[in-house]
Amino acid sequence: MNDTHLLKKIQHVIQTEIVSKQPNLLYDPIVYSLSQGGKQIRPLFTLMACELFDGDIEKALYPAVGVEVFHNFTLLHDDIMDKAPIRRGQPTVYKKWNENVAILSGDAMFAVAYDFLIRTDSIYVQRIIQAFNRVAIGVCEGQQYDMDFETQDNVAISEYINMIRLKTSVLLGGALEIGGIIGHASDSDLKHLCTFGENIGLAFQLQDDWLDVYSDVEKFGKVHGGDIAVNKKTFLYLKALELANGEQSKQLKHYFSSTNFDAKKKFNTVLSIYNELNISEHTKSEMQKYQGFAMDALSKISVPPLFKDPLKGLAEILLTRQN
């Protein structure tokens, strides 16, 4: 079954189950966040993982939508915490409405996600909820580490990788695991699915870091250099500190000590240092490393290689995106 057909199934559930619910100020922001142009990779992964083992994707459809609702809930609350004005090229929920509306709608989304997750055969529910709870806790841990790093002077690259694994990657792995559970995958194959998803997630987040600095802003759909503006200690910054000479290190730490600098001057100075240290290529190399780990895990799943092509193709599209 092709991606377009699967996406139509996902979108049909969203349209029939969430749109037009009352009260408007609770549900309109939910509909808005779910229709902002996201690629719906996570629910696609859930359905594809189920299909990989010849499972019934109709039994995975509502849990897949639950994964997507949860993902967008995390983005909605993250945007408040990060004070991000734009998401996918449009105003974030708290900017379009206000923080109180965004917080309450996010709370509702978390409950709605659970409601979708349990709407499958009862034999799957306990394992699905166990997998989801592990993921949800991991995402929250990752977000806390991310916030901790804002005020932490010394952050190791390994600490950063662990943070993005929790904040971004475990949900991709969990989406695949849920689909695999419904498809009756073996424990070994579920482990390989999770490893595949988590490493794709790591490569995806490293690409996101790279795009924030080097992308075409019109394609990226976010404020250019947003991570630099708010002093986020991304892989690019941490790798630059690792490679910098004394003067470069001094400049980087100076500009990442405050958000009160002229934004354009700050971005251009940091970008100049990144270019001197070839940070773009270092980041791409790191992305390729995790992509390699992902493809190795995918190769170990005990189904014919041809059956894995949809997952492999979607992962490759995800890692060559410009937005």
- Start-to-end CA distance of the chain, whole Å, equals 25
**What's the rounded Cα separation, in Å, for the pair 277 and 273?**
6
Summary mean pLDDT of the chain: 93
Tokens of 1: 């079954």
pTM: 0.94
Q: Per-residue pLDDT for 321 more than 90?
A: no
Q: Residue 22 phi/psi, 5° resolution?
A: -115, 155
Is residue 178 over pLDDT 80?
A: yes
More confident call, 319 vs 119: 119
Question: Given this model, what pLDDT does residue 38 score?
Answer: 76
pLDDT in tens, 70-112: 999 999 999 999 888 888 889 999 999 999 999 999 999 999 9
CB atoms within 10 A of CB 17: 16
Is residue 182 predicted with pLDDT exceeding 90? Answer: yes
Sign of CA dihedral 55, 56, 61, 66: negative
pLDDT tens, residue by residue, 148-167: 998 898 999 999 999 999 99
The tens digit of pLDDT for each residue in 201-222 reads 999 999 999 999 998 665 555 5
pLDDT at 240: 98
pLDDT: which is higher, 318 or 80 = 80
Which pLDDT does position 31 carry in this prediction?
A: 93
Q: Is the pLDDT of residue 322 over 80?
A: no
Residue 196 has pLDDT above 70, yes or no: yes
Paired residues of 90 in beta bridges? 87
Residue 224: pLDDT band (50, 70, 90) is: confident
Across 240-248, average pLDDT: 97
Summarize the confidence of residues 281-287 as an average pLDDT.
Answer: 97
Percentage with pLDDT > 90 across the chain:
83
| Domain 3-318 bears CATH identifier 3.40.47.10 | no
Give tens-digit pLDDT for 120-134.
Answer: 999 999 999 999 999
Question: What are the extents of the domains in the chain?
Answer: 3-318
